[in-house]
Amino acid sequence: MTFDDGPDPLWTPRILDVLERVDVRATFFVIAPLALKHRHLVAETLDAGHEVEFHCTEHVRHTRRSRRAVEADTREGLQALRNLGIEPSLWRTPWGVHAPWTQEVAEEFGLRLASWRADTKDWRGDTVPEMLGRIEPLLGQGSIVLMHDGLGPGAQRTGCEETVALVEPLVARLRELGCEPTPLRVTVGEQRVGA
């Protein structure tokens, strides 16, 4: 289970609470300036046993930036996270969009690209039944689920209530399928990440 676009002072604590309740560790792909601004949330996330990995500094599609600009963005973001004591090894790019050179940039920085299999499309403001219905056929061993604990630039909703509400039924469904959610590094080991 992965969460992008945080940390968010309102929604990240609620996601952490519900993950604690269901006893699941997840992976958070953070926006570096938000991580610096809300460093206590990053610390809480790590203390609870979750992974914090790199999303971006500026949330812009790689196809709309130069390679040099993305390299600078990545360098700045990784430095910010290092200042918080985090050494990311996974990278989910903004919007999950890759330019032809994204893989090479990832390798330059020692990062592995992390995609997903099941997109909840929670950013759109869908309800829990809609989201569960859509992703259910995609759930299984090794499946990576995309959710958001923050309101990124594409969000068509004003809050993340439905994502908070999705966690418990999603975990229940996964356990019915015999799957136990783990942080992404555990799920994927040293393989390339993605579906």
Binding range to Zn ion, per CB under 5 A, among 1-9, 11-19, 108-116, 165-173 = 1-9
Distance CA 150, CA 7 (A): 6
17 given a catalytic annotation: no
C-beta neighbour count of 153 within 10 angstroms: 12
Binding range to Zn ion, per CB under 5 A, among 13-21, 33-41, 131-139, 150-158 = 150-158
Binding range to Zn ion, per CB under 5 A, among 79-87, 123-131, 147-155, 158-166 = 147-155
Catalytic residue among 4, 8, 122, 126: 4
Burial of 104 (0-12, 13-18, 19+ CB in 10 A): exposed
Q: Which residue has the tokens 């269901």?
A: 22
Q: How far is the CB of 110 from Zn ion (least distance, A)?
A: 21
Closest CA to 144 of 112, 187, 178: 187
4 given a catalytic annotation: yes
**Size, binding site for Zn ion by CB under 5 A:** 3
Q: How far is the CB of 70 from Zn ion (least distance, A)?
A: 14
DSSP character at residue 190: T
Q: Report the residue number, 4 or 122, with the smaller CB distance to Zn ion.
A: 4
Burial of 46 (0-12, 13-18, 19+ CB in 10 A): middle
Contact with Zn ion (CB under 5 A) among 4, 122, 126, 149? 4
Residue list 151-170, contact with Zn ion (CB under 5 A): 152
Q: Is 122 in the site for Zn ion (CB under 5 A)?
A: no
Handedness of CA 62, 68, 69, 72 (dihedral sign): positive
Which residues contribute to the site for Zn ion (CB under 5 A)?
A: 4-5, 152
Which residues are annotated as catalytic? 4, 148
